[in-house]
Amino acid sequence: MFGMIRPCRHSLSERLRTEWIGHLCGLCRALRDGHGQLARTATNYDGLLISVLVDAQSTAAPNRRRAGPCPLRGMRTAIVATGEGARLAAVVSLVLASATIADHAADGDGVLARRPLAKAAERLAGRWSRNATVDGAALGLGTGVLLDAVGRQAAAKRSPSSLLAVTEPTESATAAAFAHTAVLAGRPDNAVPLAEVGRLFGRLAHLLDAVEDLPADHAAGAWNPLAETGTDLATARRLADDATLGVKLALREVEWANGTLAHRLLVHELDRAVGHAFAHAEPDTGTQRGKQRGLVTGCGVAVGLFCTCQICCSDTYPDPWTGERRQGWCRGSGDSGGGDGCDGCCSCTDGCSGCDGDCCDCDC
């Protein structure tokens, strides 16, 4: 469960947080039901936006069902999203997860430097990719555009001509996924602006990941797009700010049935994510880190931390890969507006015409 959009309990009203959790758990269940328990590790916060967008555009009643108790919800039940939106989110998440695993296996990262484990990871990535292709076809989405983007990503890494050339494959993949939500929702006119939203969202996902990983990548001698293209943090911030503005403008061209949660996540929370990433950026790339865990071992530790609610509910928790202390996602001084990940409630940004009284549930 990773991604840029990580709203804490203070930044969404109770109603919107319940809806957000419903989409998150719906994605997790769609992965499990369609592809087995292990596929649930492909659940990520950004992937659930696909499910949110389908619901936000659809005039039909949303598909929901009650899910049983889960450790990540403190053993509480929940009303979760089902239907085509959750299935499309699962397809996109599975394609991207399979690509990530295959990339790490090819590079021999961490424990995948051992050939038997790398082979097993490659088989898993191949199975997930094939399954996603079948499910995508059933939903009318040809995953070829996603897989093609993955292939171009590897080429862009080998000979990066510019930072935007490196981010382009991710931009194309997310543009296709966001645009297809308009098809599933029966809003074909929304496909063009949502493709633009997806393109810029993909750019931001790549940029923020590079910013956050820069010191650790330098210490480990790992590839980082900012370092490889000679892009400084000021330039990266300018590109990120331009992208967030572009997302906001493109969203105004979308026709919604109920776009409140989509707006909250793609305007307010996205802006918050950018500010948080750059506020915590470490320009001193000589920062030393402890020995890092490999991909598979770190993922195993992360699952354990999630299942014991340490990442969500503890004041701090050890990073699964580096061991550094990090603040729990739901902790922070949201009431005072000064903590990590929380800048207070009811603080609508420029472009909002006002709130409806439900803690910034504005819909511009």
Map tokens 């061209």 to a residue: 253
The number of beta carbons lying within 10 Å of the beta carbon of residue 55 is 29
What CA–CA distance (Å, rounded) separates 84 from 181?
9
> What pLDDT score was predicted for residue 302?
76
Banded model confidence at residue 146, pLDDT cuts 50, 70, 90: confident
Domain presence at residue 363 = no
Domain presence at residue 358 = no
Domain presence at residue 338 = no
Closest CA to 117 of 104, 98, 126: 104
Q: Which residue has better confidence, 122 or 359?
A: 122
Tell me which residue range forms the domain holding 73: 14-289
Q: What total of structural domains would you count in the chain?
A: 1
> What pLDDT score was predicted for residue 161?
84
Prediction pTM value: 0.78
The angle formed by the CA atoms of residues 258, 261 and 264, to the nearest 5 degrees, is 125
220 close to 291: Cβ distance less than 8 angstroms = no
What CA–CA distance (Å, rounded) separates 16 from 243?
25
% residues pLDDT > 70 (the chain)? 79
Neighbouring-strand partners of residue 247: none
What CA–CA distance (Å, rounded) separates 328 from 312?
5
Which residues touch 55 (CB under 8 Å, ≥6 apart)? 23, 62, 81, 85, 185, 258
Domain presence at residue 50 = yes
Domain presence at residue 352 = no
What CA–CA distance (Å, rounded) separates 259 from 19?
12
Domain presence at residue 62 = yes
| Secondary structure (3-state) at 165 | helix
324 close to 315: Cβ distance less than 8 angstroms = no
User: Which CATH number covers residue 79?
Assistant: 1.10.600.10
Q: Which residue has better confidence, 138 or 328?
A: 138
Lowest-pLDDT range of 43-47, 153-157, 277-281, 322-326? 322-326
Residues in the chain: 364
The number of beta carbons lying within 10 Å of the beta carbon of residue 9 is 15
| DSSP annotation string for 56-101 | HH--SPPPEEEEEEEGGGTSEEEEEE-SHHHHHHHHHHHHHHHHHH
Task: Give pLDDT tens digits for 62-97.
Answer: 889 898 888 777 788 888 999 999 999 999 999 888
Domain presence at residue 359 = no
Domain presence at residue 333 = no
CA atoms within 13 A on the CB side of 200: 23
Which residues touch 323 (CB under 8 Å, ≥6 apart)? 290
Straight-line distance from the first to the last Cα atom of the chain, in angstroms, rounded to the nearest whole number:
29
What CA–CA distance (Å, rounded) separates 212 from 182?
32
Lowest-pLDDT range of 148-152, 168-172, 299-303? 299-303
> What pLDDT score was predicted for residue 263?
96
